[in-house]
Amino acid sequence: MKKNKEQEIAALAGIDSEDKETDTKEAVEVKADDSDKDTKTEEEEEEEASFEEDSSASKKRRRRRKKQAPKRKPEEVNIVKELLSLIVYIGFVILICYLIITFVGCRSKVDGSSMNPTLDDGDNLWVSKISYTLGDPKRFDVIIFNYDENTTYVKRIIGLPGETVRIDEKGDIYINDKPIIDNYGKEKIYENNRGRASQPVKLGEDEYFVLGDNRNGSTDSRWASVGNVSREDIVGKAIFRIYPFSGFGRVR
């Protein structure tokens, strides 16, 4: 019986020692886990500290930049933008107008009655410059040409370069000794209004003979003060009458 009790006591002691060893192992593992947790926390704290230092440094840089940069109110910025856009717009409009007036066309005002009945005194015309950039002037075109530095005339082309023009006693016009049909003149040319065209007028390679539609009330190529019109003196072709509005339309 004693032996059996001793064996039971020894068995219980062995179980206790095993439990103690198990508890000890678990405690060691828990401590190890706790140490790992502590280590991770320290690393995280270091990372957070470095992040805070970086963010504070970046904030300081931003503050310095704000201090150094000139402060502008939103209203001032908007006004500057509007002024710049307005300047660009005005410059663009001026450029377009310059290109149109120089290369495309211009406005001209009729002064006098030399082109009656086609045009009247005070008519405003749109003159195409590009017409003669792309092609040559044609017979019966109404043109604007420079009379002198300050004056332009509006007349109708009758004779072309290289042709010979003559007006007979009846007022009929001849080109190279052949009569032309002229439906633009207000009336027949009087004998004493033939001027130098009472004799054959030979035109050069870049010269034109022009007449006003009011044939007896026009100063044109019949008179030495005007003479033959050089191609380089032609400003352009009269295309439209733009004013008065009652006469608005194509010039023929």
**Sole residue written with tokens 């191609």:** 231
User: Catalytic pick from 128, 131, 155, 218?
Assistant: 155
Rounded CA-CA distance 29/26 in Å is: 5
Rounded CA-CA distance 166/187 in Å is: 17
pLDDT recorded at residue 86: 87
| Per-residue CA distances from 220 to 89, 181, 224, 229 (Å) | 44, 19, 8, 9
Residue pair 150/185 in contact by the 8 Å Cβ criterion: no
Annotation says 114 is catalytic:
yes
pLDDT, tens digit, 9 for 90 and up, residues 54-70: 556 566 666 666 555 55
| Per-residue CA distances from 178 to 38, 123, 172 (Å) | 120, 34, 10
In terms of Cα–Cα distance, which of 136, 173, 176, 177 is closest to 158?
173
Would you kindly state where each structural domain of the chain is located, as residue ranges? 1-69, 107-250
User: Catalytic pick from 114, 128, 131, 221?
Assistant: 114
Annotation says 155 is catalytic:
yes
Across the strands, what pairs with 189?
Answer: none
pLDDT recorded at residue 9: 45
Q: Which helix (H) or strand (E) holds 61?
A: helix 2-68
pLDDT, tens digit, 9 for 90 and up, residues 13-45: 444 444 444 444 444 443 434 444 444 456 555
pLDDT recorded at residue 106: 85
Burial level of 143, CB count in 10 A (0-12/13-18/19+)?
A: buried
Report which listed range, 62-71, 180-189, 224-233, is most confident.
Answer: 224-233
For a pLDDT cut of 90, what percent of the chain falls above it? 51
Rounded CA-CA distance 220/211 in Å is: 5
Mean pLDDT, to the nearest integer, of 62-81?
64
Three-class DSSP category at 156: strand
pLDDT, tens digit, 9 for 90 and up, residues 88-119: 889 888 888 766 666 677 889 999 999 999 99
Q: For the domain made up of 107-250, give the CATH fold.
A: Umud Fragment, subunit A (2.10.109)
Rounded CA-CA distance 27/49 in Å is: 32
Length of the chain counted residue by residue: 252
